[in-house]
């Protein structure tokens, strides 16, 4: 109990940096959630594009613009070239269509006028190009066969109105689950960074030479002392985890109260405890308070980047993922990613989740064992 | 005296392990992490042919338009290669879809049925492609009908329907769409991450300036007290401290540059002298920020470091370090913020060199950095002048 009381006293003393750091990490989580559309998925079925029309908006030109506008998200960025190029570079739009002067008259003469485009070359740009080329192709064919412009426009529109029937087999709300997974994947950084910062900060106070000497000559045995410290610190970790989950239920809404949400919450709880053991090990290894910030950046940022906390795991190169297998974050994030694909929860589909959880627990046991060994070896002072 | 103080300032800076970590090691570690994480992002975003299945049926066998279109779309030699196609039974197609071995499968009915697992990019491309074939089919039917009607009206009953069909097919296949792509070759937005990293390293260099000035200030360190009571001219001492930190900062940046360009192979374009000039100006901005924090604020060294790191990280955040789109959002909605943000000036300067052919925007950023540095140094001089202590 005395260890726990001291822990609370130290925590109270460090309240300002602890609160500030926790708030910053939680804010990062919120910001990541609000901007995750740009990074996590590229499922938009309508490409973002700009149309710069230098011709008069009449006849076939008007019909072409209307068709593209109906099937894409047309953005109005202005006519300034620098603004347009910036928008393309930063993927605000994927495609820019320049309709030249006299497009309509050249087209009616059967000259197949040139359309200039700028493209990012990604999926969305590909979709945009398909739209442009399918319209122009149909129009080019009909202009050779039909006499009047109105008839060409009518036939092109009729042809292009042919749609395929789409059947989506899965019942999972992909977008909502993706958002849930992105939010909890980011927790990898928040929980690790928060855990290491606070645990190391508190442990460094316990590691003052005089205090350690005093503890060592006391009747409390080393393992028991470590266990009490670990349990005390786990309180903070659970507080941080709860804060993140509460924030998740505010931001994500109903999806948090589904089986997927529950698995994410439980998975993050186990990972929080794993973060605690990692932090405890680091706290026992270092003696310098100033080094904490450096270690947070290396450990938390490192494992977050390597295991896919910031960008989707499927985008990481295989070599990086091979290295990531040696980090607990990988198994935590893998469980979250599994949820995107599981439709029915049964023994077979849940098996990978159970295996990942077991691996995290094994990591925890390994970290606790190493901590005990390190702390015993470091008993000698002076 | 100048050389003596310069030499010892450099030695003092290099003996500070925390400084070495933040200014030298941290940008390199972060750069390595960026490279590991982002190396595949743009490649993943590019379009790649993917696997689909087509359910075998008599309709597939008899419909030449679809057969020909799918053959062309699955031809690996063709520019239009979109899919790797398997012709299977419906049950096998379902199984393949369940095992996520294909993005979706197509059943030729009227209208054509496309079955997919979810609504992703590949699924959208599949839908678009199938629709395009359906539209081509509709177009051929329209042409045949028009031709047949024409033949009927002209009483050319000798015209063979097969001939008309072949003509319509030829008309559609012959047609080329006249689209010219004029996009520049430099479209990799991941480079922005590395530009913000250089900006961060330039501004973190301010910590060196700050520590160096703190060492010379009587109210900050014992060494400062010792220096202040010495008969050496203050201007010389400050100038040599500043120069020492600028040199230390440039060494760090040089190592970072070598690492980024030679090891991580990041493309900075072909404007080496301009890049060097921008880096010198960026470091000067970082240095002047550090000096202002050191001279203008009455706080202990930890608080000053905290402030400097916070300002740097905020600046880097706004210039796109934690998400490239942030720079664009600020540039379009609150441009004034990025006009006074040194991290953004540096990032934008590199971006202008990489993306644009004309140097106007680069010069604008460069001049802004010099003005920013000049202003901050002026403020620092004002706050340092006539500083005297009767006792501390």
Residues A66-118 pLDDT 10s: 999 998 999 988 888 888 999 999 888 999 999 999 999 998 888 888 999 99
Contact across the interface for A159 and B26, Cβ inside 8 Å: no
Interface mutation vs chain B, best among A112, A166, A293, A299, most B CBs within 10 Å: A166
> What residue of B is the nearest CA neighbor of A111?
B178
Query: Measuring CA to CA, how many Å separate A373 from each of A206, A211, A229, A266, A289?
Result: 18, 20, 16, 29, 22
Contact across the interface for B177 and A146, Cβ inside 8 Å: no
Same domain, B225 and B160: no
Same domain, A71 and A131: yes
Interface mutation vs chain B, best among A136, A162, A314, most B CBs within 10 Å: A162
B chain contacts of residue A118, beta-carbon cutoff 8 Å? 181-183
Count of domains for chain A:
2
Q: Quote the DSSP letter at residue A14.
A: T
Same domain, B140 and B276: no
Q: Do residues A261 and A40 make contact, with C-beta atoms less than 8 angstroms apart?
A: no
Same domain, A145 and A250: no
Q: Do residues B277 and B45 make contact, with C-beta atoms less than 8 angstroms apart?
A: no
Same domain, A195 and A308: yes
Same domain, A270 and A131: no
Same domain, A275 and A324: yes
Same domain, A177 and A304: yes
Q: Do residues B319 and B196 make contact, with C-beta atoms less than 8 angstroms apart?
A: yes
ipTM over 0.90: no
Number of other CB atoms surrounding residue A346 within 10 Å: 8
Interface mutation vs chain B, best among A164, A302, A312, A339, most B CBs within 10 Å: A164
Tokens of B91: 């049950």
Same domain, B230 and B281: yes
Average pLDDT for B273-278: 90
**Domain-terminating residue out of B173, B208, B228:** B173
pLDDT number for residue A382: 58
For residue B98, the distance in angstroms to the closest alpha carbon of chain A comes to 9
Same domain, A63 and A96: yes
Whichever domain contains B134, its CATH number is 3.40.190.10
First to last CA, chain A: 28
Tokens of A282: 């680091």
* B327 within domain boundaries: yes
The range of the structural domain enclosing residue B208 comes to: 2-41+187-384
Interior/surface letters A195-217, b for 16+ CB within 10 angstroms, e for the rest: bbbbbbbbbbbbbeeeeeeebee
Same domain, B205 and B135: no
Partner residue facing A130 (CB), from B34, B132, B176: B132
Q: B161 pLDDT exceeds 70?
A: no
> What residue of B is the nearest CA neighbor of A83?
B332
Number of other CB atoms surrounding residue B372 within 10 Å: 20
Contact across the interface for B47 and A122, Cβ inside 8 Å: yes
- Preceding omega of B111 cis (within 30 degrees of 0): yes
Average pLDDT for A6-21: 80
Same domain, B60 and B150: yes
Only one residue has tokens 């993050």, namely A268
Instruction: Give pLDDT tens digits for B73-100.
Output: 888 877 778 888 889 998 999 888 888 7
Partner residue facing A123 (CB), from B125, B142, B143: B125
Same domain, B243 and B336: yes
Tokens of A378: 């470091």
Count of domains for chain B:
2
C-alpha A71/C-alpha B135 separation (Å) is: 15
Q: Quote the DSSP letter at residue A255.
A: G
Same domain, B267 and B346: yes
C-alpha A265/C-alpha A268 separation (Å) is: 5
Which range has the worst mean pLDDT, A305-314, A315-324, A346-355, B56-65?
B56-65
Closest CA to B118 of A349, A180, A173, A350: A173
The range of the structural domain enclosing residue A143 comes to: 48-160
* A285 within domain boundaries: yes
Contact across the interface for B115 and A141, Cβ inside 8 Å: no
Same domain, A101 and A14: no
If phi > 0 it is left, if psi is from -120 to 50 it is alpha, else beta; for residue A16 that is alpha
Q: Which helix (H) or strand (E) holds B174?
A: helix B161-174
Q: Which helix (H) or strand (E) holds B88?
A: strand B83-88
**Domain-terminating residue out of B173, B197, B229:** B173
């Amino acid at each position: 109990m005395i260890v726990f009381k001291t822990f609370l006293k130290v925590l109270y003393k460090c309240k300002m940096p602890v609160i500030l750091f926790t708030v910053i990490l939680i804010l990062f989580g919120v910001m990541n959630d609000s901007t995750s559309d740009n990074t996590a998925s590229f499922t938009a079925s309508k490409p973002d594009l700009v149309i710069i029309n230098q011709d008069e908006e009449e006849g076939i030109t008007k019909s072409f613009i209307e068709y593209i506008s109906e099937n894409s998200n047309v953005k109005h960025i202005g006519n300034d070239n620098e603004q347009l190029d910036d928008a393309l570079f930063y993927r605000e739009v994927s495609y820019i269509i320049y309709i030249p002067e006299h497009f309509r008259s050249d087209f009616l003469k059967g000259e197949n006028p040139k359309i200039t485009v700028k493209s990012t070359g990604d999926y969305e740009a590909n979709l945009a190009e398909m739209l442009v080329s399918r319209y122009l192709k149909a129009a080019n064919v009909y202009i050779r066969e039909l006499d009047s412009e109105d008839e060409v426009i009518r036939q092109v529109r009729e042809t292009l109105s042919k749609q395929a029937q789409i059947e989506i087999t899965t019942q999972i709300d992909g977008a909502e689950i993706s958002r849930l997974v992105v939010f909890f994947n980011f927790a990898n950084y928040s929980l690790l960074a928060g855990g290491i910062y606070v645990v190391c900060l508190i442990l460094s106070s316990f590691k003052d030479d005089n205090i350690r000497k005093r503890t060592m000559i006391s009747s409390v045995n080393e393992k028991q002392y470590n266990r009490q410290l670990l349990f005390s610190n786990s309180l903070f970790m659970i507080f941080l985890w709860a804060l993140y989950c509460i924030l998740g239920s505010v931001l994500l809404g109903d999806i948090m109260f589904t089986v997927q949400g529950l698995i994410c919450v439980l998975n993050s709880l186990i990972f929080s405890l794993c973060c605690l053991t990692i932090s405890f090990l680091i706290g026992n290894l270092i003696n310098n308070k100033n080094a904490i910030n450096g270690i947070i950046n290396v450990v938390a940022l490192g494992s977050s980047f390597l295991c896919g906390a910031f960008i989707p795991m499927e985008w990481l190169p295989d070599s990086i993922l091979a290295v990531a297998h040696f980090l607990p974050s990988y198994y935590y994030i893998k469980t979250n990613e599994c949820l995107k694909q599981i439709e029915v929860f049964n023994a077979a589909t849940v098996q990978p989740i159970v295996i990942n959880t077991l691996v995290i627990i094994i990591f925890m046991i390994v970290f606790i064992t190493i901590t005990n060994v390190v702390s015993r070896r470091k008993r000698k002072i002076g | 005296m100048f050389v003596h103080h310069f030499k010892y300032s450099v030695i003092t800076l290099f003996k500070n392990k925390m400084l070495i970590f933040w200014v030298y090691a941290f940008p390199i570690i972060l750069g390595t992490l960026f490279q590991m994480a982002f190396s595949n992002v743009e490649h993943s975003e590019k379009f790649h042919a993917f696997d689909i299945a087509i359910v075998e049926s008599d309709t597939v066998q008899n419909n030449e338009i679809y057969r020909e279109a799918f053959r062309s779309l699955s031809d690996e030699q063709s520019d239009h290669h979109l899919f790797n196609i398997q012709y299977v039974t419906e049950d096998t197609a379902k199984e393949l879809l369940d095992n996520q071995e294909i993005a979706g499968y197509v059943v030729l009915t009227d209208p054509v049925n496309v079955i997919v697992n979810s609504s992703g990019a590949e699924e959208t491309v599949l839908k678009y492609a199938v629709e395009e074939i359906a539209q081509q089919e509709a177009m051929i039917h329209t042409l045949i009908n028009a031709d047949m009607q024409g033949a009927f009206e002209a009483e050319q009953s000798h015209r063979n329907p097969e001939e008309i069909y072949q003509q319509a097919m030829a008309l559609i296949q012959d047609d080329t769409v006249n689209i010219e792509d004029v996009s520049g070759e430099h479209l990799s937005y991941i480079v922005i991450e590395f530009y913000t990293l250089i900006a961060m390293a330039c501004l973190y260099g301010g910590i060196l300036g700050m520590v160096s000035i703190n060492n010379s200030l009587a109210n900050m360190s014992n060494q400062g007290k010792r220096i202040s009571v010495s008969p050496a001219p203050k201007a010389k001492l400050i100038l040599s401290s500043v120069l020492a930190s600028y040199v230390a900062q440039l060494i760090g940046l040089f190592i970072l540059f070598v690492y980024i360009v030679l090891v991580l192979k990041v493309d900075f374009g072909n404007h080496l002298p301009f890049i060097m000039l921008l880096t010198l100006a960026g470091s000067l901005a970082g240095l002047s920020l550090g000096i202002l924090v050191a001279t203008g604020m009455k706080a202990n060294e930890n608080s000053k470091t905290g402030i400097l790191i916070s300002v740097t990280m905020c600046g880097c955040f706004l210039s796109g370090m934690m998400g490239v789109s942030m720079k664009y959002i600020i540039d379009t909605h609150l441009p004034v913020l990025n006009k006074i943000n040194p991290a953004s000036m540096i990032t934008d300067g590199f971006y202008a060199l990489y993306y644009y052919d004309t140097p106007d925007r680069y010069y604008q950023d460069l001049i802004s950095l010099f003005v920013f540095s000049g202003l901050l140094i002026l403020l620092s001089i004002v706050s340092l002048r006539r500083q005297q202590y009767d006792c501390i």
